[in-house]
Amino acid sequence: MRSNSKVFRPLGMLALVAALALVAGGCGGSGKKSSSGGSNGNSGKTYPLLRLAFDAPDYMDPGLYYTVAAYQATNYVWTGLMGYKHLPGAAGAELVPYLAESMPTISADGMNLKFKLRANLKYSNGAEVKASDFRYTIERDFKIDSPGVGFFSSIKGVSGDKGFAATKKGHISGIITDDAARTIEVQLDHPEGDILYIFALEFAHFVPAGTPASDQSTHPIPATGPYMLQSYTPNRSFTLVRNPNYNNQIPTMPSGNPDKVVGKIVTDPVASYQQVVNDQADYDYNQVPNDRLPEAQSKYKDQLRIYTNANTWYYYLNNRIPPFNNLKARQAVNYAIDRQAIVSGPFGGLGRPTQNFLPPGYPQYKKITDYTFDIAKAKQLVKESGTAGATVDVYGTNEEPAKGSIEYLAGQLTKIGYKPKLHLLAHGVYFQTIGNQATKAQAGHTDWYQDYPHPLDWFDVLLNGNRITETHNNNPGNVNVKSVDAEIEALKKITELTPAVNARWAKVDRDLMFTYATTVPYLNRSSTDFFSAKMDMSCYMFSVVLYWDWGVSCQK
Amino acid sequence: MATGSTTDFTLDSAAELAAEEHGAIEGKSPWLLAWRRLRRNYLALSFLLLFVAIVVICALAPVYSTHVAHTGPNEGHLGETFTRDGKQVQIVSKGGFVNGVFVAGGIPVGPQLWHAGGRYVFGSDNQGRDVAVRLLYGGINSLKVGIGSAVICTLLAVVFALLAGYYGGWVDWVISRFFDLIWAFPVLLLAIALGTALSINGFHHFGINLDAGSLWIPTLVISYVLIPYVGRPLRGQILSLREKEFIEAATAQGAGPFRVMFTELTPNIASSVLVFFTLIIANNILTEAGLSFLGAGVQPPNASWGTLIADGQDRIVTAPWLAIIPGIAIVLTVLSLNVFGDGLRDALDPRAKVRLEH
């Protein structure tokens, strides 16, 4: 998931996570029983109003939104069969049943999952939550061209010429529901280790059957969680209030402390920071501007929190066309990048240098440290590659810190003997531009925030040569190492992430980043949470999945 | 010649005037008269001198870059140090996590004046680039765009005004509607729209190939959007002039349209054109700064005074010089051109001065 002004949504990072994922993955076991407790000890400390200075959500419709802003704002509104524990640290990446009564029963081959809904579930409008709503929700995603439909491609009856994805008619044959028995059976074409994580995504959050197959952002969809969306005015504000029909129907998640949440859309980070300083807002969603960080650190130290979630910022090098179809040319760029300097400069210190594609915290992560910043060596490699003097079209966005980072790349390319031509585009058109092969972008900036904590979300989505497309290409570097592609395909079928499998994923990381130098990862970005003096920071909880968990916040 | 009538005006003979003037009367051209007036306007001349000084200083950018600052305008020095008073100074402060504790970084070094042997005289930006070097190169770009667009804009405006004013009729109608079309958009918005669109992939049509980063793009965009602002008043003057007797006389003597336009009409609007040209350079420099500030003008990594201000705005608290120094450069340049332009107008058209003074 790509970054927006702050970050796009991740789902977790951490060590235990993948181990949990496996289980989930339907690795042949019978279902797990429900874990208790989705909350920490801050539940019950209710207060009347939480004021947020927030970034603009892309949509307020669970079938459509794909930004952190929308996710963070509404993770107490719409819910799915599965969800995450509301706990800090790695525990927060653990899946628990939300609308499902318990973890599903999974067949031995991992291709059949059976869920049962909790009894007496209701939407915020009082209507009953039915098993068939799940199927409707997924089918609606296809009808509204949801950005999440790709996640459901392994469900039987979705793919192929006559699949639901193509026809959008009838029903998805792989989802069998029984409203009376409250059961949902999902049949897959092949085992998929991350399927339960997919069912925790917003695209699988229940909406009532009959919800129009169009953007309902300004016509709030009835909620299943503790809160409901009362109103949303795009680019202005949104208001959440308690769901009058909630009745603690999801015991695995907190009921929420604030009675009302008012989010004002303030996209300028300086303005949102100032609103919190002036006590006009309780929380600044945006990144505290680099310019104001020293002040925030010294003057408002207790109100500032800094975290690093699962993300990687990297430069792609187009492996398909000169000069970067040459290994030595790619190695040269890797040696020419002073990763710590980028952290210090454009990012104001908010980042951790990396040479890995996978972020730290994954059990598959094995730190790569081979590239020591060495301009002389980089120049030598360029010379040996025979590509010196080549013109390089370098693409980036015109927003900081990406702009500063790409200017740095252009500068370093000049230093090692290339002639970079910089193209800075607006964020809104950037990814579709570089994702189009016709652009012939030779190098550029990109970043990725995980959708869910599994190496597939990184290597398969971003660097598998078998998934290169002509447009909307998620692999703008056209990384296509046949031996590694084959390994990714093989690993895709393995649902249990054992240490041996993790070691294979680590080798994929090393092969792509070092042996073939396909890409130039340079940092894992850190972010800020900034609060007004009114907030009781003892209740602060950061979850790798939910970010700042506002539901368990409290005030002094 | 005396007519003998008491009510008629009389014109003194040259000899009589010469007697009054205690010497021979010399014919003086309007340009000479204007220069006599201008050279008495010390304020205007001072600001002309200031503008010339700015141009000369900017033109010396390569010399300064090579022999004083020892770095290029787009050469970043992130992670590097320089020597000041025998000590190593970080060009951009280090930041990150030290033993798990966050340390804010990225603060560029401030103006060193001459304490660092000519390096970072005006400090560094957040890429570790020398602000003084970028200021000078940025000045070259700003002046190139400002003056270049003023030349193109003025030339086109004169041609359109001559055609519309001389021919009238449908030619005038078409050209006037063209002016209206451009004028219908707020000038800066139109420039932003064009500049943004062209800055993505450049312009590659009709055999013209302009890369996205080409200075020609902001130059042509600014020229285009400002044509009516010069063309309309000139057209008005031409409409008035073409009714004068000297045009009738030229036509009666067999002068063709182009001869009338370029040898009779053009000299009569030359003073206005000169004043417009001077003033529009200042205006264009401001427009360029605005466009570049918004990302629709000069494209990074190339500098202009507008991009330098844009780069500095994110560091206005911790590194205010980044925005203030190019801001001062713009103010001085525009002020010098405006004051000189006013002086020039007063010199070329004394009646305007009278009106202004009233």
Helix (H, G, I), strand (E, B) or coil at A277: helix
CA-CA distance, B33 to B43, in Å (whole number)? 18
Put simply, the answer to whether A344 touches B93 (Cβ < 8 Å) is yes
Task: Tell me the torsion sign for CA atoms A418, A422, A427, A431.
Answer: negative
What's the gap in Å between the CA of A263 and the closest CA on chain B? 25
What does the alpha-carbon distance between residue A50 and residue A46 come to, in Å, rounded to a whole number? 10
Mutant choice from B93, B107, B292 vs A, greatest count of A C-beta within 10 A: B107
Largest CA distance in chain B: 109
Residues of chain A with pLDDT under 70: 1-41, 90
**ipTM score of the complex?**
0.79
Strand partners, A122: A128
Q: Which of B79, B96, B299 sits opposite A424 (nearest CB)?
A: B299
- The shortest CB-CB distance from A425 to any of B74, B200, B319 is to B200
Q: Report the run of H or E that residue A316 belongs to, with start and end.
A: strand A311-317
Q: Between chain A and chain B, how many beta carbons pairs sit less than 8 Å apart? A: 116
**pLDDT score, position B24:** 62
Whole-angstrom distance, CA of residue A352 vs CA of residue A4: 19
Query: Which residue of A298, A352, A407 is the best one to mutate when testing the B interface, meaning the one whose CB has the most B CBs within 10 A?
Result: A407
CB < 8 Å to A340, chain B: 79, 94, 96
Amino acid at site B332: L
From the list A291, A295, A429, the residue facing B314 with the nearest CB is A291
* Backbone phi and psi for residue A424, each to the nearest 5 degrees, phi listed first: -105, 120
pTM (two decimals): 0.80
- Written as one letter, the residue type at A459 is F
The contacts of residue B57 (CB under 8 Å, 6+ apart) are B136, B139
Amino acid at the residue A229: L
Among A135, A138, A117, smallest CA distance to A176 is for A135
Q: Is B97 in the A-facing interface, judged by CB distances under 8 Å?
A: yes
DSSP-assigned beta bridge partners for residue A283: A52, A531
Predicted confidence (pLDDT) per residue in A304-352, tens digit:
999 888 899 999 999 999 999 999 999 999 999 999 999 999 999 999 9
Q: With an 8 Å Cβ cutoff, are B74 and A349 in contact? A: no
Taking the CA of residue A401 as centre, how many other CA atoms within 13 Å lie in the half-sphere pointing to its CB?
Answer: 30
| Dihedral in degrees, nearest 10, Cα atoms B141, B145, B147, B150 | -170
Q: Tell me, what amino acid is at A239?
A: T
At residue A450, the pLDDT reads 83
Query: Which ranges in B40-82 belong to alpha helices (H)?
Result: 42-59, 61-64
When computed from its CA atoms, the radius of gyration of chain A, rounded to whole angstroms, is 23
Smallest CA–CA separation between A441 and chain B, in Å? 12
- Closest Cβ opposite residue B79 in set A340, A347, A423: A340
What DSSP state is assigned to residue A290? G
CB atoms within 10 A of CB A368: 17
Beta partners for A264?
A53, A237
Q: What is the pLDDT of residue B354?
A: 35
Q: What is the DSSP string of A534-551?
A: TB-GGG--EETTTEE-GG
Point out the residue among B75, B107, B299 whose CB comes nearest to the CB of A411.
B75
pLDDT (tens digit per residue) in A428-449? 788 888 988 998 999 999 999 8
Q: What distance in Å separates the CA atoms of residue B134 and residue B142, rounded to the nearest whole number?
A: 11
Both structure tokens of B73: 């305008």
Which of A5, A273, A293 is most worth mutating to test chain B (most B CB atoms within 10 A of its CB)? A293
Instruction: Give strand pairing partners of B81.
Output: B90
Q: Over pLDDT 90: what percentage of chain A?
A: 70
Low-confidence ranges of chain B (pLDDT < 70): 1-27, 350-358
**B335 and B320 in contact (C-beta within 8 Å)?**
no
Report pLDDT for B12.
53
Q: What is the DSSP-derived secondary structure letter of residue B299?
A: P
Taking CB atoms and an 8 Å limit, are A292 and B317 in contact across chains? yes
How high is the pLDDT of residue B14? 60
Give tens-digit pLDDT for B242-286: 888 999 899 898 888 889 998 899 988 888 898 889 889 999 999
Nearest-by-CA chain A residue for B212: A423
Residues contacting residue B68 through CB under 8 Å, at least 6 positions apart: B118, B121
